Amino acid sequence: MNTNRTGRHTVLWALTCFALLLPLTSVAALSQSGGELRFCLRSEPKTFDPLLVDDDSSLSIRYLTGGVLVRVNRHTQELEPELAESWKLAKDGKQIIFKLRHGVVFSDGSPFSSEDIAFTMQRLMDPALHSSTGDAFRSGNGAVTTKIIAPDQIAVIFPAAITGLDRLFDQVAIMSAHSPKKEAAVLGPFMVAEYKAGSSVLLQRNPNYWKKDSQGRRLPYLDSIRLDIQSNRDVEMLRFKRGEIDLINVIDSDYFDRLAATSPQLAHDAGASLDYDFMWFNQVARAPIPEYKRAWFRDANFRRAISQAINRDDLSRVVFNGHAQPAVGPVSPANKFWFNSKLKAEPYRPDAALQRLQGDGFHLQNGVLFDKSGNAVEFSIVTNAGSKPRERMAVMVQEDLGKLGIKVNVVTLDFPSLIERISQKFNYEAAMLGFRNVDLDPNEQMNIWLSSAENHAWNPQQKSPETAWEAEIDRLMRAQASTAEPTKRKESFDRVQEIVAEQTPMIYLVNQNALSAISSAIEGADPGILSPQTFWNAERLMLSPSTRASR
């Protein structure tokens, strides 16, 4: 009896406290709303047309202003409903039906309906527009069509199956079919209010944004975001330290450590990102390189030995001050679903590397490695000039391989010359570059893995696969692309990762960590590994009262 009464009292107390605290939390949120968030874009945005976005700065603006049907949660990596309340993928992967949210209007007040989706898709797929966002939806010959089922329901139909179709809509900002403001009418949390070329872009709160917080308050909390165009990273860091800007989305490890030394609470390391640095050997049959070198480069044993002779732990520790992880393969462990967890990064084993090479007839003589025909093992690694981390990595690889008696010449080239050499003239021996992975889905990498692809770095545009393992990768990549079943796709892509580990056509070096700087004036920040790392939840970011008062 007593126990029951005590229990009832506890419940009553809890309810009373909750009732008292509820308005207080709303007041707290209210007191922190408003203000102007400031950060830098590293280059001029090339376009404000969301369907033509192709550069980082425009991408940031599109993310902040564009409304999308579905959004990949940058924290959980799961797909979440946005303008579409729900969606249904057809089994054959050729059709997706969206059920739209009610009561949504564009920033200029024009209503949102399935007509806007039809208009956006029609414009996106117009070949004359040359939209790189649209390229991801081109699955086969024939037009992409839309069918308006109801004002709040629409089907988008594709000529051939597209795997991971729903996730692709994360990149499609919906445009208004009827608004006279065209791309200036947006559905995202902010809208472009002012653009000063070469100086800044001012985004203001979209007063008609549909989303509300748990207390029913309309988002976003911020009044505006000012994006200063600033390419110099030193200046960007100085401005951050002075409190003139509130965040740096991506910073180098050097800057990160300097910041962490003085203000550790502002430096955020979200762990391994999806990006990787890698090197590869030129295996192109018509490349103007000596035949004996081509034979080394085409030998999986040679490639594997080189991979074993590289100390990835040192690369991570020395070049990135520990803010990088030895890379395992084409998929970062940060990609929770697609990473093949059976694989491990190649450990540093110079003795095993030498044994492997000796097994192929290579031999050491006075500290110099010779092949079985008596040719001294020497090759050059080309990389892009101006990238300090990559230049440092190349010099460290040079020393690692020097211990095996291999002479490596490091050549830094300006980017256009480098691209010309590796993709047109094939006049190089080995190359070192970085890959920026913006999507989690392996379909993003189709243009790397198919032997016929232009970006099949080590031997592109093959008429038919030149090796059995490349044929197998072709088959597996096509198999995973032709089914919508995630487990079957994962099975195929896991095998691709295993073949790549065995054959080592690319030598994966490190996955850099996602490093960022966030001012203590910002509340609600939750930096992640997916782009945009720091402001993916911009609609829920708040500024401290003192910062708001000072602006």
Partner 1 sequence: MNAARKLSCLVLLAVCAAALAANWLAPAGYAKQFRDVPNAPASRQHLLGTDDIGRDRFARVLYGTRISLLLAPAAALVSTALAALVGGLAGYMGGIWLQMARGFTDLFLSLPWLFLLITVRALMPLNVSPLVSVLITFLVLGLLGWAASARVLSTSADAVRNSDFVLQARASGLHGPRLFLIHVLPNLKPVLYAQFWISIPVFILTEANLGILGLGVAEPLPSWGSLLRELEGLISFREQPWRLVPLLLLVVVMTSFQLLLSNEEVTA
Cα→Cα distances 198→95, 201, 202, Å? 42, 9, 13
CA 419 to chain centre: 21
Cα→Cα distances 227→43, 200, 291, 500, 545, Å? 11, 5, 53, 41, 21
By DSSP bridging, strand 430-435 and strand 378-384 are parallel
- What is the closest distance, in whole angstroms, from the C-beta atom of residue 223 to partner 1 in the complex? 32
Q: What is the largest CA-CA distance in the chain?
A: 95
β-pair partners for 267: 517
- What is the closest distance, in whole angstroms, from the C-beta atom of residue 314 to partner 1 in the complex? 5
The whole-angstrom separation of Cα 279 and Cα 307 is 9
β-pair partners for 430: 281, 381
Closer to partner 1 by CB, 30 or 238: give it: 238
Binding stretches for partner 1 (CB under 8 A) = 233-234, 237-238, 254-255, 258, 314, 317-319, 378-380, 382, 385-386, 388, 391-392, 394-396, 398-399, 409-414, 417, 420-421, 427-429
Closer to partner 1 by CB, 137 or 428: give it: 428
- What is the closest distance, in whole angstroms, from the C-beta atom of residue 384 to partner 1 in the complex? 8
Closer to partner 1 by CB, 123 or 392: give it: 392
Closer to partner 1 by CB, 17 or 238: give it: 238
- What is the closest distance, in whole angstroms, from the C-beta atom of residue 42 to partner 1 in the complex? 15
Closer to partner 1 by CB, 61 or 396: give it: 396
Closer to partner 1 by CB, 237 or 484: give it: 237
- Asked if residues 255 and 233 have their Cβ atoms less than 8 Å apart, the reply is yes
User: Which DSSP category does 179 fall into?
Assistant: -
The whole-angstrom separation of Cα 315 and Cα 318 is 5
One-letter identity of residue 49: D
- What is the closest distance, in whole angstroms, from the C-beta atom of residue 532 to partner 1 in the complex? 24
Strand blocks (E) in 161-305:
190-196, 200-205, 224-229, 247-248, 267-272, 276-281
Closer to partner 1 by CB, 79 or 385: give it: 385
- What is the closest distance, in whole angstroms, from the C-beta atom of residue 396 to partner 1 in the complex? 6
Closer to partner 1 by CB, 218 or 392: give it: 392
Structure-block tokens of residue 380: 């050059």
Closer to partner 1 by CB, 43 or 409: give it: 409
- What is the closest distance, in whole angstroms, from the C-beta atom of residue 516 to partner 1 in the complex? 18
- Asked if residues 174 and 187 have their Cβ atoms less than 8 Å apart, the reply is yes
β-pair partners for 435: 276
Rg of the chain taking only CA atoms, in angstroms: 27
Closer to partner 1 by CB, 317 or 495: give it: 317
- What is the closest distance, in whole angstroms, from the C-beta atom of residue 262 to partner 1 in the complex? 10
Cα→Cα distances 3→12, 16, 533, Å? 14, 20, 51
Strand blocks (E) in 251-336:
267-272, 276-281, 324-326
One-letter identity of residue 340: N
- What is the closest distance, in whole angstroms, from the C-beta atom of residue 400 to partner 1 in the complex? 9
Give 17's contacts (C-beta < 8 A, 6+ positions apart).
none
- What is the closest distance, in whole angstroms, from the C-beta atom of residue 402 to partner 1 in the complex? 9
Tokens 């009827």 locate to: 178
